[in-house]
């Protein structure tokens, strides 16, 4: 048995076979071949194999997700079997005597270039499909295993170096028993995703030597990965898994009840979401609205930017789920670790300090305007609020407000209904904004503290760098003081403050944040039931005492020790 320790990223215990996900870049050479007929045969066999794979994927997706989602594989199959595509490849093999891989690459690149040149959204979208099909075909020709997560056809624990948003876009919740990555921190993409999927996860384990099929255990509460556990360990973990599942079932059964402290103080508990499916889950988990809709998901998948209509439809569908409950839509936050595939941006040396979030939007107003109009339209007769990420100065806020006014004026001129008076807030996630909270507060309706980034930027720690990510801890006294200052400044100006970093759903941090006067807690939907259960055991006065004591502590270790101790015992 091998035991590896990483960062506990999502609670719960998973036991099952490993699925090792290590996508290799496709490398091959252009070769001259002697027997074109045999090469064409090889191509035909590969096409047939990929076709079979696509049929299986289509059926599987239809059963597990839905008919609409499965249609993409039908389109891929039609493209793969289109005689024009195959004939052109065969012709090149016959005429030039080159290997099938080189011929497939040439033909698909040619098609991609042609589609790129057509000024039509539909054709631009198809470009991504061609790429996908060509990659599958090349993998088959090269004898490489299928490497997308959609290849997972039986429940397993995914083991990877890291998972990017595009890797996980095709992830099937039912197939992933748990996630474990070699790198990452508690705020990395994998960690956030696993919490929102409610599957146990451990990240930042370091090098993992394992083959697919090996038996593994993941303990998402202590950050352990166990490979080939012995019988005794296995039965201990099976028992723990049962206890955890029972406790969880009880919390979920009470999730729809209000979030009341033991002394009857009602706390606003809302969800962080990133898709339409998340919206449904948020309601099921007892969210009373959304404190953060990450809109990036619409932008990270395709090769083209989503149009105003596409964005509007999705924002509106989500707003319809929440009706009059608040829905805070955050404008695009790409850059940093999230690359936008549809626009070619220069490589940056320090992307987290670069053209990220509002900076990118202000630099590309044409892109920003489309999103602002879509949000404003979706907010009509709904409780939608807008929020700008990464505001670092008053100038930036003013520029963003000018853009918003422009988007309203354009909609007005078009005669389209929109939310003329929607609330506007900003994320406080750059230290300069926290320091200037008293200057910014009068100019907005609310703040939402983004502690994932506030910790990163305050503590000068790259949250995605596995060597230092554990230092980006929002319970560091410097971050706690900033949070306190932000809340005080906002309250002095009569504005409310939320918090949408991962900290809001961390049971260790919740009593402290409540005691600091936080008005709204926004978290992964799956964290809501346990946070509500915790609040029911706590009084407001206790929380305030905890906060006062915490503020006096000089370092992170002392804060963590104090908050982990039995602070919830009744204070005499």
For ligand PEP, the closer CB: 200 or 450: 450
**What is the rounded distance in angstroms from the CA atom of residue 433 to the CA atom of residue 147?**
42
In this structure, the strands spanning 496-499 and 520-524 are parallel
Q: Which residue is nearest to ligand PEP (CB)?
A: 450
The residue annotated as part of the active site, out of 189, 361, 476, 550, is 189
**What is the rounded distance in angstroms from the CA atom of residue 324 to the CA atom of residue 452?**
28
We find the least distance from the C-beta atom of residue 55 to Mg ion, in angstroms, to be: 41
Q: Which residue is nearest to Mg ion (CB)?
A: 453
Among 452, 458, 526, 542, binds ligand PEP (CB under 6 A): 452
167 binds Mg ion per the rule CB under 5 A: no
Tell me if residue 60 is catalytic.
no
Identify the residue whose tokens are 């407001």.
540
434-463: contacts with Mg ion (CB under 5 A): 450, 453
Name 118's Cβ contacts closer than 8 Å, sequence gap at least 6.
124
Q: Which stretch binds ligand PEP (CB under 6 A): 3-11, 34-42, 277-285, 449-457?
A: 449-457
6 binds Mg ion per the rule CB under 5 A: no
For Mg ion, the closer CB: 223 or 450: 450
291 binds ligand PEP per the rule CB under 6 A: no
The separation between CA 164 and the C-alpha centre of its own chain, rounded to angstroms, equals 9
Which residues are bridge partners to 335 per DSSP? 338
We find the least distance from the C-beta atom of residue 373 to ligand PEP, in angstroms, to be: 23
For ligand PEP, the closer CB: 134 or 500: 500
For ligand PEP, the closer CB: 124 or 463: 463
Token pair of 324 as six digits: 């009059």
Among 436, 500, 528, 533, binds ligand PEP (CB under 6 A): 500
429 binds ligand PEP per the rule CB under 6 A: yes
459 binds ligand PEP per the rule CB under 6 A: no
What is the separation, in whole angstroms, between the first and last Cα of the chain? 47
198 binds ligand PEP per the rule CB under 6 A: no
**What is the rounded distance in angstroms from the CA atom of residue 232 to the CA atom of residue 228?**
12
We find the least distance from the C-beta atom of residue 45 to ligand PEP, in angstroms, to be: 45
Among 39, 129, 308, 333, binds ligand PEP (CB under 6 A): 333
Q: Taking every pair of C-alpha atoms in the chain, what is the biggest distance, in angstroms?
A: 89
Element (H, E) at 449: strand 446-449
Among 6, 501, 511, 515, binds ligand PEP (CB under 6 A): 501
For Mg ion, the closer CB: 427 or 533: 427
Q: Which parts of 81-205 fold into alpha helices (H)?
A: 83-96, 100-117, 121-142, 165-168, 189-197
What sign does the CA torsion over 285, 288, 289, 292 have?
A: negative
Tell me if residue 189 is catalytic.
yes
Q: Is 294 helix (H, G, I), strand (E, B) or coil?
A: strand
**What is the rounded distance in angstroms from the CA atom of residue 525 to the CA atom of residue 523?**
6
133-162: contacts with ligand PEP (CB under 6 A): none
Quick one: what does residue 294 bind among Mg ion, ligand PEP, none, with the CB cut-off 5 to 8 Å set by partner type? ligand PEP
Name the CA radius of gyration of the chain, rounded.
25
What sign does the CA torsion over 552, 555, 560, 565 have?
A: negative
Q: Which residues are catalytic?
A: 189, 500
Contacts with ligand PEP, residue ranges (CB under 6 A): 187, 292, 294, 333, 429, 450-453, 500-501
């Amino acid at each position: 048995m091998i035991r590896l320790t990483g960062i506990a990223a999502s609670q719960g215990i998973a036991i099952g076979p490993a699925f090792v996900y290590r996508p290799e870049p496709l490398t091959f050479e252009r070769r001259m071949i002697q027997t074109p007929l045999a090469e064409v045969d090889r191509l035909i066999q590969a096409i047939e194999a990929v076709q079979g794979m696509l049929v299986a994927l289509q059926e599987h997706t239809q059963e597990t997700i839905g008919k609409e989602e499965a249609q993409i594989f039908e389109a891929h199959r039609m493209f793969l079997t289109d005689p024009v595509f195959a004939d052109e490849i065969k012709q090149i093999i016959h005429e030039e005597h080159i290997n099938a891989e080189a011929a497939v690459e040439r033909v698909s690149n040619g098609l991609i270039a042609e589609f790129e040149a057509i000024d039509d959204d539909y054709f631009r979208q198809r470009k991504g499909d061609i790429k996908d099909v060509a990659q599958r075909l090349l993998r088959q020709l090269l004898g490489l295993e299928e490497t997308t997560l959609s290849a997972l056809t039986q429940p397993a624990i995914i083991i990877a170096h890291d998972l990017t948003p595009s890797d996980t876009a095709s992830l099937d919740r039912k197939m992933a028993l748990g996630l474990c990555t070699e790198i990452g921190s508690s705020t990395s993409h994998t960690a956030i995703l696993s919490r929102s999927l409610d599957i146990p996860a451990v990240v930042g384990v370091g090098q993992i030597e394992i083959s697919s099929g090996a038996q593994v255990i993941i303990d998402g509460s202590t950050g352990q990965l166990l490979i080939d556990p012995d019988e005794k360990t296995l039965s201990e973990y099976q028992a723990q898994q049962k206890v955890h599942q029972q406790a969880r079932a009880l919390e979920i059964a009470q999730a729809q009840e209000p979030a009341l402290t033991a002394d009857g103080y009602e706390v606003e508990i809302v969800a962080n979401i990133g898709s339409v499916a998340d919206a449904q889950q948020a309601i099921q988990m007892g969210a009373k609205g959304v404190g953060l809709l990450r809109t990036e998901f619409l932008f990270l998948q395709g090769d083209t930017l989503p149009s105003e209509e596409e964005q509007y439809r999705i924002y509106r569908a989500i707003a319809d789920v929440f009706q009059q409950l608040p829905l805070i839509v955050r404008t695009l936050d790409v850059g940093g670790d999230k690359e936008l595939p549809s626009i070619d941006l220069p490589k940056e040396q320090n992307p987290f300090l670069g053209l990220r979030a509002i900076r990118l939007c202000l630099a590309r107003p044409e892109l920003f305007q489309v999103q602002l109009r879509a949000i404003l339209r979706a907010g009509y007769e709904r409780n939608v609020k807008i929020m700008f990420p990464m505001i670092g100065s008053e100038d930036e806020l003013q520029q963003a407000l000018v853009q918003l006014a422009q988007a309203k004026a354009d909609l007005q001129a078009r005669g389209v209904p929109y939310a003329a008076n929607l609330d506007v807030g900003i994320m406080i996630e750059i230290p300069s904004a926290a320091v200037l909270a008293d200057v910014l507060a009068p100019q907005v309706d609310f703040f939402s503290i983004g502690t994932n980034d506030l910790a990163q930027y305050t503590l000068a720690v790259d949250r995605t760098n596995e060597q230092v990510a554990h230092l980006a801890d929002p319970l560091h006294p410097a971050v706690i003081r900033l949070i306190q200052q932000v809340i005080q400044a906002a309250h002095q100006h009569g504005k409310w403050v939320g918090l949408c970093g991962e900290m809001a759903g961390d049971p260790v941090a919740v009593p402290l944040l409540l005691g600091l006067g936080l008005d709204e807690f926004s978290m992964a939907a799956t964290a809501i039931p346990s946070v509500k259960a915790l609040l029911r055991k706590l009084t407001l006065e206790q929380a305030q005492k905890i906060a006062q004591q915490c503020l006096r502590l000089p370092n992170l270790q002392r804060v963590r020790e104090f908050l982990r101790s039995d602070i919830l015992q009744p204070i005499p």
